[in-house]
Structure 1
Amino acid sequence: MSETRGDSPHPSRTPGFAAAPGESGAGSDGRAGPQPEEIRFFGTTWVHHDGGYVLRRVAVAAGSLAAAVTGCLVLRFAYQGLETARVGGFVNLLVIVTFAVCSAIAFRKTWEGFSRRPADPARDESLHSLRMIGFIGALLAYFFRSLAEAPGEELRRGEYETALAQYEKRRGTRTGNPAARRKPKRK
């Protein structure tokens, strides 16, 4: 459930930056320059908060909370199965501690993924199974973040605004026809 992965339809682009040489540079709407990176469930509606952005945030918050509650109920049924099997107090405690620790780690890593990209993507990917076990923590992180903004919006907005500023700076220095410029005379 991590948003740190590139969900962009343009995997060859660096998130939030203009097209690489050889690519068209124009986005799907015909504009040149950097294009905003899409966020799961939100697309690019986060840029101007249009296109049902508020409704999407409400739906993501309600959906993630409902999924977390459902996950808790499923875990409760699994725990009752362990009690019925009479596996012992140690195993019951081990299951509870495992899910609690994994949920806490999944919450923290998911929450961090909303505000910064991982320094080591390989290490972050190795925690994928731990996040799967602690899915309730990841769902709760989605719920709490969607109360304030689209999950990952802060990170993507910062990258997009930086890319726009860099693009405008580069574009401003390239005004005019470079072939018509006078070359300095050699002495």
Structure 2
Amino acid sequence: MSTTSATSATTTADGAPVPPPIRWFGTTWVDRGTAYWLRRALVPLGALAATAAGAFALRLGVSGVRISGAAPLTLLLTLALGLCSAMAGLRNWKILTEGKESLTGWAAEEKQLAGVWLVGFVGALAVYFARSLVEAPGEGLKRAAYDQERATWHRRRAARAEREARRAARRRA
């Protein structure tokens, strides 16, 4: 099996494209069978539970700072957590709707803003939950790439079959 690019599907021995798997969904998104719809129901619930658990953990952390008597620090910490969550959520939304290659500017910074992405995990989880209500997160991008690769493969296969038919007809004549 070979991979032509980061977003393209792998191919089988005859060159037919194979759909790339999506986290939690595998390749069930292609046929949209029973397993896909079951996962489509469970993934948002899991993402919502993870978002709630993360928000609760952050609330406990902020409460600990508040109890310590550092009231001005509590407000600053709350603002920082909100800003990090908003930035991580915006970045995650762009990744899920347009792909990681489309990130530019501050959203494209992996290592420099790793702390922001880590602290803003609640925003990223909330966006994952919201996106999973619409589709399997990232499905639209993968489906478009897979459909394009399948169309190209079918065109090439038809052209190859046509050339071979012409050659066979010339040999018979």
Q: TM-score, normalised by structure 2?
A: 0.82
Aligned AA for 1:123? Answer: A
Larger deviation: 166-175 or 101-110? 166-175
- Tell me the distance in 2 between the aligned counterparts of 1:83 and 1:62: 31
Identity between Structure 1 and Structure 2 (%): 35
What is the alpha-carbon root mean square deviation over aligned residues? 2.6
1:74 partnered with 2:79: no
Larger deviation: 156-165 or 123-132? 123-132
Alignment of 1:86-165 (within 5 A): 86-89=69-72, 91-117=73-99, 118-119=101-102, 123-126=108-111, 127-165=113-151
- Tell me the distance in 1 between the aligned counterparts of 2:34 and 2:2: 24
Whether the 8 Å CA contact 1:103–1:136 is kept in 2: the answer is: yes
After superposition, give the CA deviation of every residue in 1:78-114 in whole Å (9 maximum; x if it has no partner). Answer: 111101211231x212211111111111111111111
Cα distance change, pair 131–11 in 1 and its aligned pair in 2 (3 A): farther
CA drift at 1:177 = 3.7
Larger deviation: 31-40 or 96-105? 31-40
Q: TM-score, normalised by structure 1?
A: 0.76
Cα distance change, pair 168–18 in 1 and its aligned pair in 2 (3 A): farther
**Structure 1 regions of 5+ residues with no counterpart?**
1-9, 20-24, 183-187
**Structure 2 regions of 5+ residues with no counterpart?**
none
1:16 partnered with 2:29: no
Aligned AA for 2:46? Answer: G
Cα distance change, pair 100–145 in 1 and its aligned pair in 2 (3 A): same
Q: Which one of the candidate residues 32, 35, 42 is aligned to 2:25?
A: 42
After superposition, give the CA deviation of every residue in 1:127-148 in whole Å (9 maximum; x if it has no partner). Answer: 4432211111111111111111
1:52 partnered with 2:35: yes
Whether the 8 Å CA contact 1:106–1:130 is kept in 2: the answer is: yes
Whether the 8 Å CA contact 1:17–1:33 is kept in 2: the answer is: no
Q: Secondary structure at the match of 1:52?
A: helix
Q: Which one of the candidate residues 33, 36, 41 is aligned to 2:16?
A: 33
| Superposition misfits of 4+ residues, deviation over 3 angstroms | 10-13, 16-19, 119-122, 126-129
Whether the 8 Å CA contact 1:18–1:163 is kept in 2: the answer is: no
Q: Which one of the candidate residues 35, 48, 51 is aligned to 1:65?
A: 48
